Amino acid sequence: MIICMLLGWLYFIRRILSALFLTMVVIVASNITISIVIAAPLLVQDSLAVEYDIVVHIDPVEQTIKGRSVIATTSSHELTLLLGQRFKVTHAFIDGVTLKPSGYGHLMHTWSVPASQRNVRRYIEIHWDGKLSPLNTSLDHQQTLGRAEPVSGSLGTFLPDSSGWYPRIAGELASYRVSIEMPSGQRGIVAGRLIKESETSESYHAVFEFPFPSEGIDFMGGPYIVTTDMMKSAGGKRIQLRTYFHPQIKELARGYLDKVKGYIDLYESRIGEYPFTEFSIVSSPTPTGFGMPTLTYLGINVLRLPFIRNTSLGHEVLHNWWGNGVYPNYQVGNWSEGLTTFMADYAYKERIGPEAAREMRLGWLRDFSALSLGQDSALERFATRTHGASQIVGYNKAAMMFLMLRDLIGYESFDRAIQAFWHHHRFRIASWSDLRDAFETESGQDLQIFFKQWLTYTGAPTVHIAKAIRRQSDSGYRVTITLEQTGVSALYSIRVPIVVYTKDSKETKTFDLDRGRQTFSFKLRAKPIEVALDPDFRLFRRLTPDEAPPILRQIMVNQAAVTVLLSEKGGAHVAGYELAKKLQNRIPKIVLSKDAFTATSVLVIGLQEQVDRWISSHKLPVRPVIMRSNGTAHAWTVKHDGVTLAIVSAKDTTSLKALVRPLPHYGRQSYVVFDGAKAIERGTWPARVQVVKLN
């Protein structure tokens, strides 16, 4: 759980960098083309090709880099060339003429490459060298990537694209060839096809080629043990599979390689042939985790977790189709996380069984319902994940949208549309409207309203059964149901599943609700007893308070939530304050105990007896049974008079302090029992489906 969050975070940072990059692409769209592949719709106009030919020597012990790059371009427009400011440039020429720096940015050497005639191929040659920062394995994932610093050490080298470790033309997709030299015992890798590799007693040498439009180049290196395997793609192409693992996890290689084969097979059958000729899993000494075309880079400790190969690995493999095979148009919304979540994370739950899939859908709706009104943005505005609310929209709401779409047009049309979308947009930038076109063409349905409401509206409809009546008729029974949608700025056109229960069977009816209040009726032979609204949670909607039992996340994401610290001074007060700050990721709004109920979300933190006294003085429901015996600390939610409370109770100050790190990771739970810093029990209060008895 924690790790999944972690992976998401890292992936997001990677995507942010990509987003910035592509934003620049769009800004200078009139100048853009891409090399090798046919231009994408947004990249037409006049052709610009950029190709990098890079040779680098990296010494992790000395922490040095020395490089030479020849950039070939046929652009007729002015270009900006960037290289990290920390490096010394020893040679900068364009077609044999000195290229003068156009300025010194804070972080980058900057050259302006003047405009030229159309279709003239020009060559820029840069030589550079310098120091890399020492690798610090104690940094956490956000620090590692947030810094965008090139780091190196004998345990690993990571040069993110954003660190400016090689000279690159701003805002351009480019193909490349990278020749790597490292001391013997070290291996280096960049995304792409390994075309040459050799090792002597002194040095290691490898050459990678990436003939597709790339968003940027990340370099990874380390004392890797490489394990290889091979598979044939659906079209008979050889796919080279590799793990670059640190020696301490080398025995995990086989299991990972087998899993990768399974994922590639799966997605080739669902979408189309794997677009590349390799896939590698590369271990990192820091707890990173993200994906690039042809590889994924995961922390050693992440790779050790047994569930990663069943979840995150498949997600990262699928990004070779969605994200790194078809590029989202970040200007008009990133669809790739939602589609990847739907076809990976959610699909794996469906494979486990209907209950597991329902649990995931309910979790998504519960998370969304935990946001306060107006806290979310429209899905079309999602570019990359920057905070909890953006993940809830960009990943979960989007995945749910694909589920509703499949429910609407059927599995066959859905699968055909996915394949057609892939076929037409491979290695191009595509937007939500391209997806809509594919689904409309394959299903023959007009999906304008469907896409418009889920992409452009904020919030979600709240739907409930206003009335349900049963009447006996000659041939059986007639049921009349009035449905209402409320609490939204715009009305939705939605298909509402209603399950009708008789004594020994159940039947699902679907009603098209597009007004605020509508009445539907149907006949039934057997006597209906009760009706339930969307008990399988297949409709994206704001759950009613009963359906959405409170979870800890509510007091974490609600900006208006207040905090009551029952210890007014001393260690327990300090620990309580720290915990509140960490949970809410902001300076907590501390209020006096008597003012607690002026807010709709309240966090209460105290020692066990203080908490018990407080509960009884406010006539709150008694401490749940599970919170009474085990453990050194408890956190649980309770809803009382429209107020959501999260109560944290610890045996003593030490037990309270122990929660500061782990508790924020349990936002999706209604309760957690801790023994020290370890969660020994957790769960959500059961959801109560909307049911109306018929009489």
Nearer Cβ to Zn ion, position 9 or 166?
Answer: 9
Interactions with Zn ion, residue window 38-77 (CB under 5 A): none
Nearer Cβ to Zn ion, position 337 or 442?
Answer: 337
Interactions with Zn ion, residue window 572-631 (CB under 5 A): none
Q: Are strands 528-533 and 690-693 parallel, antiparallel or unpaired?
A: antiparallel
Nearer Cβ to Zn ion, position 342 or 427?
Answer: 342
Check if the beta carbon of residue 406 is closer than 8 Å to that of residue 414: yes
Nearer Cβ to Zn ion, position 280 or 340?
Answer: 340
Give least dist CB 165 to Zn ion, A.
Answer: 24
- What are the distances in angstroms from CA 309 to CA 142, 251, 391? 22, 14, 22
Alpha helix segments (H runs only) across 150-219: none
Interactions with Zn ion, residue window 83-142 (CB under 5 A): none
d(CA 43, CA 429): 8
- Binding track, positions 4-43, relative to Zn ion; x by CB under 5 A: -------x--------------------------------
Nearer Cβ to Zn ion, position 340 or 601?
Answer: 340
**Measuring CA to CA, which residue among 564, 661, 666 is closest to residue 615?**
564
| 294: helix, strand or coil | coil
**Measuring CA to CA, which residue among 514, 463, 465, 517 is closest to residue 492?**
514
Nearer Cβ to Zn ion, position 214 or 655?
Answer: 214
Torsion sign (Cα): 509, 514, 517, 522: negative
Give least dist CB 312 to Zn ion, A.
Answer: 9
Nearer Cβ to Zn ion, position 204 or 290?
Answer: 290
Give least dist CB 371 to Zn ion, A.
Answer: 21
Nearer Cβ to Zn ion, position 345 or 534?
Answer: 345
| 359: helix, strand or coil | helix
- Alpha carbon 533 to chain centroid, angstroms: 30
Check if the beta carbon of residue 194 is closer than 8 Å to that of residue 240: yes
Give least dist CB 510 to Zn ion, A.
Answer: 31
Ramachandran assignment for 672, one of left (phi > 0), alpha (psi -120 to 50 degrees), beta (any other): beta
Nearer Cβ to Zn ion, position 11 or 382?
Answer: 11
Q: Which amino acid is at 308?
A: I
Nearer Cβ to Zn ion, position 52 or 432?
Answer: 432
Give least dist CB 21 to Zn ion, A.
Answer: 17
Give least dist CB 450 to Zn ion, A.
Answer: 24
Nearer Cβ to Zn ion, position 160 or 535?
Answer: 160
Nearer Cβ to Zn ion, position 11 or 674?
Answer: 11
The set of residues, in sequence order, having a beta carbon less than 8 Å from that of 251 and lying 6+ positions away, is none
Q: Are strands 238-245 and 278-284 parallel, antiparallel or unpaired?
A: parallel
Give least dist CB 638 to Zn ion, A.
Answer: 35
Give least dist CB 289 to Zn ion, A.
Answer: 10
How many Cα atoms sit within 13 Å of 224 on the Cβ side?
25
Give least dist CB 385 to Zn ion, A.
Answer: 9
Place of tokens 């148009």: 329
d(CA 547, CA 367): 12
> With helix as H, strand as E and coil as C, how does 80-102 read?
EEEEECCCEEEEEEECCEECCEE
Nearer Cβ to Zn ion, position 340 or 554?
Answer: 340
| 388: helix, strand or coil | helix
Give least dist CB 519 to Zn ion, A.
Answer: 43
- Binding track, positions 327-346, relative to Zn ion; x by CB under 5 A: ----------x--x------
Q: Percentages helix, strand, coil for the chain, rounded to the nearest 5? A: 35, 35, 35
Using CB under 5 A as the binding criterion, the count of chain residues that bind Zn ion stands at 3
Give least dist CB 18 to Zn ion, A.
Answer: 12
> With helix as H, strand as E and coil as C, how does 248-292 read?
HHHHHHHHHHHHHHHHHHHHHHHCCCCCCCEEEEEEECCCCEEEE
Give least dist CB 556 to Zn ion, A.
Answer: 22
- What are the distances in angstroms from CA 332 to CA 42, 207, 424? 12, 36, 19
Total residues belonging to the chain? 695
Give least dist CB 301 to Zn ion, A.
Answer: 20
Residues in contact with Zn ion by the rule CB under 5 A: 11, 337, 340
